Structures are given as C-alpha cells and as structure tokens.
Chain A
Amino acid sequence: MNSSPDKRKRWNARFLPRSIVARTSLSILVLAVVMGLAFSLMASWRVRAAEHDRLIARVHELTSTVESTVSIACFLNDATLAKEIAGGLMKNRIVAGVRVTSGAKLLYSGGVVEAARGRAARIDAFPQTIYSPFDQKNEVGQITLYVSSAEIEAQAAAYSRYTIWILSLQVSIVAAAVAFLVYLLVTRPIKGISDELHRLEIRSGMRLTWPSGNRKDEIGQLVLDVNGLIARLTDALANERELRVAHEISERRMRLVFEKADTGILVLDERGAVLSCNPSFVRILGPGAGLAGAQLDQLLRPHGPLVAELIESANAADEPREADMEVDLGSGRGKVWVELSVNRLGPNLLQGLVNDITERKRAEVAARELASRDPVTSLLNRRGIDAALVQVLERPIESRARPALLQIDLDHFKSVNDTHGHDAGDHVLRVVARVLERAVRRSDFVGRSGGDEFQVILAGVEKTSVALDIANKIIAEVAQPVDVGGGNLVRVGASIGIAMGSGEYEAPASFLRRADEAMYEAKQSGKGCVRVAAAAAAEPGDSAAA
C-alpha cells in the first residue's frame, strides 16, 4: 500500500524531465503518438475492410455493366464480341482473367482463369449466369471474372496506408499546435516566473515582471499576488531590521549597566540555580560563583536555609525579599558581608541583587565594640557583660549544659595602685585580663565591670565542678607575680564567686547578684578562694565549698 506512490515517485524522478516545458511537451507528444497509433490502427482495420468490400462490390458492378452485351455475345455465340468485352474488363487491375461460355462452347478465355489458393497469388472466381437478351428465363451462357485477391488486398492496404498517413499527419500537426500553444500560453510564462522567482532577492526590492501575454488570466493574477507578497515581506523585513537595531542599542545599554554595576546582578530559576550573573557578582563571591550550575544557597554559606527561604517566599510574592548575611567564602578567603535581595522576574525566574556590605558592617561592629569594651583591658565593659548575659541566659537550653557566671575580685590591688601608680595598676589589670581569656573557651565571655572586678561568663558547663576547676585555675594563675617595670614584682590575688544557671530562666540581675554575694562570701572567708552561690534549683551538694 505505501510503497506504490513511492515507486511512482522514483519512476517519475528517473524518467520525467524536471523542466516543466520539456515535461508538458513530452507529455503532449507521447499522448499524440499513442492516440495517433490507436486511431490509425482502428482506422486501418476499418478502412481496409471497407476498401475490400468496395472492391468486391466493384467486381459485381463490372459484371453488371457488361451483362447485356455479354448476353448478346452468348446468345449469338459471338467470340469476337466476347473478346471485346473481356478486353475491356481486363483493363481493370483487379481483374486477372475472364472466361465466357455459351452453353458448352467456350467463347473467350483470357488472363488467369484458374482459381488458385496460396498467399502470393490468390485468385477468386466470380461466376455469373447469363440469360438471353430476349428471354430472361432462357440461360444462354456464363461469364466468370477471376479476381486477384492479393491485388485487392494490396489496393486496400495501400488505401489504408494512405489514410493512416493523412491521419498521422493531422494528429502530428494538432499535437504540435497544442504543444506550441501550451508552451506559449502556460508553460513559458510559468517557467519565466519560476526562473525569475529563483533569482529574486527580496532585499533589493525586486519584483516579478508582469507577463504581457497573460495579464488578464490566472498567471497574471499569480504574478500580482506574488509581487504583493514580496512587497509585504520587504516591509516586514525592514521593520524587523529597525526593531533589531533599536533592540541591540537598548540591550547594549542594559549590558553596560549589568557589566559595570558594583552590585552583583544575577538571574535565578525558581530553585535558586544561577542562570546568569554579572562580573560584580563573581568579584564579590569569588570565582566559584561564575561557574555554570552554581546554586545560590551553596554560595552563601552558611546561610543556605535562609537563602532557600528567601527564594521560596520571593517565588510566591511580588515584593522583593531581603536579608543581610555574613558569608564564609572558605579556603582562606575570609568572610564577607552581603545584602541579598531577591525579586520575582516572571514565571520560574528570579532576579537577585548582591551588595558587598562588609565595610559598613565592619564599621558597625567597630562602633558597637567601642561602646561595649573596656578601653584598658579590651575586655567587655559593663554594658557588654550585660549584653552577653542576656545572650547566654536567653539562649534556648540544649542538653545538660548550663551557663555559669564567675564574679572575680582582685585582692591587694589597691596597694599595687597606691605603691606603683596607675600605669602599673593598669598593667596588672591587662595581665589578669589575658589570664582570664586564656582560661576560658572562645565561646565564653570575659569582662571588667570596673576597678578590679572581672566577670567570666561560661556559656555552658555540665557540672559545677567544671566551673570550680576553671575558678581555681584562675586563682592560681593570678597569684603569679607580675613585673610592673623597674624590676618591681607585684603580687595580687583573686576571690571568686560562682553563680550557676539552674536550667530555668533567671534574670541577669539576679544572676549577677548571686555571683556577687558568693564572691563576698569568698572575701569574708579570707580571700584567694572560691565560693558557689546558692541556687533555687541547685543540685544537692553543689552549694558546698570546694
């Protein structure tokens, strides 16, 4: 089923010329030849049969023509007359021989008078009885015409050939005329249009020539329509070109902004994958940010969850989502503060703006530190301690770790100050500060609330004994002599009160007071020792001094 049109296509491609002119001419010619042959065959058969019948009829006519004279010749046994008649008959080419008899008597016999069979010379006899000229009932003789069938066939064939020739000539002339007219009226204009269209360049504003002979027919209409299409196409192309130029200018301007802006600009898909970004984005976040397939929440470590949340909410809302975050760039490149803003651009498309705010943040931190630090020891001042306490106490309680506050008061510091001056005193304070800092973890806080009073806030200890160990270590360290310049060694001591967090929320002031009271207790007990404050939910036995 499928293969037959394909087969025909292949056949066409192989045997039919591509040119429309050649194809139509060939088709008309083939048609003419086929029809001419068919007509000729039919005509030749008919003409031949008709001509044969006509010639046979002519034999009978010949006999009829001479019948009355033959009748006289037979009646009178007149051989001369019979010969005369036969001579006349035999001038006819189809008559091969004549035989005239009168009763038993042979009056005349001439030419081929034997009926013969065979292809080459077939002779047929046409006998005719002759009656007396005076009595139609009285048989007086017989005339026999011998006719060459071969000659008849030859004549019929010749006539038929002549007919075929005339017919072929006519068909040929008609076919040639039709082919020429079709060429003139249809194929040549179409070929012209086709060739012209093939060479046509739309840009140059070329048009097809309107064929003069076909202005009012379908071909003229075709050319007009094609020209109309070309005109519209040219206009459309020109418009498009202008639009493209305008678009290019606008895009170049936008790109300039994009490329040169200090702000990192990026386009994200709805899951936070970076689709494109500008150089500033890479400059801020490092070369990894410019790689294909970078994921924004991976770039802004360790704030992945926050970034994911921003992206999710920006997907749902039209307002921009913003957050400041300190990003760890890793591999020794330090940290950078960025301000991230995420806007929805369209379906499944987000725009991100990243500003480097590290400088601003540093200034802020510096200012805040200035406000919360003791200028002598660089430890936290009173305000800083309060802030740290709030932070520690309000931190959600995880596991069994609890906060602890060590209230430290230096012993004998006043005499150092008095004996060696304030500079020496300050030096001692600084040495103590370093001792305290060394004694605790980085997550703990160390401060000086004023004079010779220090505070250590342990962010989380599991047992009171840990705080006690630290306190004893501090007492031992502080007790070491300090060189205050000029070969003078001074010695101070430390009395420490500890307040342990209970696991329940406790106000900072209460916490401070408990530690303070424990410290006074230590002072009362002879200095250079540590006391643990009683607590509301203190563990049994913990209130005892170590």
Chain B
Amino acid sequence: MKRVVFILILAAFALRIADANEPTSIVVIVNPGSGVDHLTRDEVIDIFLGRYRKLPSGRAALPIDIAEASAERARFYQLLVKKSRADMSSYWARLVFSGQTSPPFQVSDAKTAIELVQSNPNAIAYVDSASVSAGVKVVLELKP
C-alpha cells in the first residue's frame, strides 16, 4: 500500500515535470487510406474553417470537432489560428445566415474522433499527441 502511494506520488511528480517541460502537442490525424501523408497549416485551416473541404489527394474532407467544452478543441484552435473558443463561436455564428459553409462535424470526445478517422478515409480530426493510437496517420503536429 505504502509502495503504491509512493509510486503514485512519484508518477504524479514525473507527470508534472513532463507537463511543465514538454507540453503535449496537438496532432492532426487522417485515415491511412486517405492518400495524404502530410498537410500544411494553411491546408488544415482551409479544411477546418470551411474554405476548402477537400484533401490534397482530391478526396472530400470531413473535418471533425471534439465537443465544444473540451480541452483539445480549445488548444487546437488556439494553436492553429490563435482564436479563443468565443472567437470561433462568433465566426461560425456569422456564417449561419449564408448557409453555404457549415462547422465541422462534432463528436463527444477524442476517442470517438479517433474511431471515426480509423473507419472513414475522408475524416480528419485532431487529438492530443499522447492519445494517438494505431490506425491513424499524423499529418501535422501543432506544437505549443
């Protein structure tokens, strides 16, 4: 029991040290079958903010947002376009009228997003670099 507590504390310390020294990146992931190996920041911006909903390979892109309250979403847009959560809401609200562009498809958490990417070659999503699993391809890393 004492050992368990000790290890936990140690782990917590290690985690904090790791957190402080090396904050985790956000990575953009696609289905390995999408035919895309790498995306530029601008290409990611175009896809997620509705400008071009196409992958460089010519395949239609299906951007996926994690739930609005999630830490990943906030960090992603902050790192990508330096916009806050409120800025982004305002951005999409202005586009409601025209109806030509719609916000990305929204899922509840990173896990669902990864599953969607694994199963759909058009899907493109973002997750914490720590959460990357097999079956997805990282095309852009957004470092803090």
Contacts and interface: CB of A to CB of B under 8 A. Distances in A.
Whether chains A and B associate is yes
Interface string A53-70: 000000000000000010
Contact of B83 (A69, A81, A134, A138): A134
A225 interface: no
B91 A84 contact: no
Q: How large is the interface on B (under 10, 10 to 19, 20 to 34, 35 or more residues)?
A: 10 to 19
Contact of B94 (A72, A79, A138): A72
Nearest to A68: B94
Interface string B88-101: 00010011011111
A144 to B, nearest CB: 21
B98 A77 contact: no
A76 interface: yes
B45 A134 contact: yes
A76 B51 contact: yes
A84 B49 contact: no
Interface string B77-111: 00011110000000100110111110000000000
A75 B98 contact: no
Given A75-B49, A76-B100, A76-B101, A81 B94 contact: yes
Interface in B20-57: 42, 45, 49-51
Among A69, A77, A78, A134, the most chain B Cβ lie within 10 Å of the Cβ of: A134
B103 to A, nearest CB: 12
Contacts of B94: 69, 72, 81
A72 B99 contact: no
B45 A80 contact: no
A133 interface: yes
Nearest to B90: A68
B35 to A, nearest CB: 25
A135 B91 CA distance: 14
Contact of A81 (B42, B45, B49, B95): B95
Q: How large is the interface on A (under 10, 10 to 19, 20 to 34, 35 or more residues)?
A: 10 to 19
Interface in B89-135: 91, 94-95, 97-101
B51 A80 contact: no
Contact of B98 (A80, A133, A135): A80
Contacts of A81: 94-95, 97-98, 100
A84 B97 contact: yes
Interface string B51-85: 10000000000000000000000000000111100
Given A80-B100, A134-B45, A134-B81, A75 B51 contact: yes
A134 B47 CA distance: 13
Nearest to A72: B94
Contacts of A76: 49-51, 95, 100-101
Given A69-B94, A72-B91, A81-B94, A134 B100 contact: no
Contacts of A80: 97-100
27 contacts: A69-B94, A75-B49, A76-B49, A76-B50, A76-B51, A76-B95, A76-B100, A78-B95, A78-B98, A78-B100, A78-B101, A79-B98, A79-B100, A80-B97, A80-B100, A81-B94, A81-B95, A81-B98, A81-B100, A84-B97, A84-B98, A133-B91, A134-B49, A134-B81, A135-B42, A135-B45, A135-B81
Q: Nearest 8 pairs between A and B by C-beta?
A: A80-B98, A134-B81, A81-B98, A78-B98, A76-B101, A78-B100, A76-B50, A76-B51
Given A76-B101, A81-B98, A135-B45, 20 more contacts: A69-B94, A72-B94, A75-B49, A76-B49, A78-B95, A78-B98, A78-B100, A78-B101, A79-B98, A79-B100, A80-B97, A80-B98, A81-B94, A133-B91, A134-B45, A134-B81, A134-B83, A135-B42, A135-B81, A138-B42
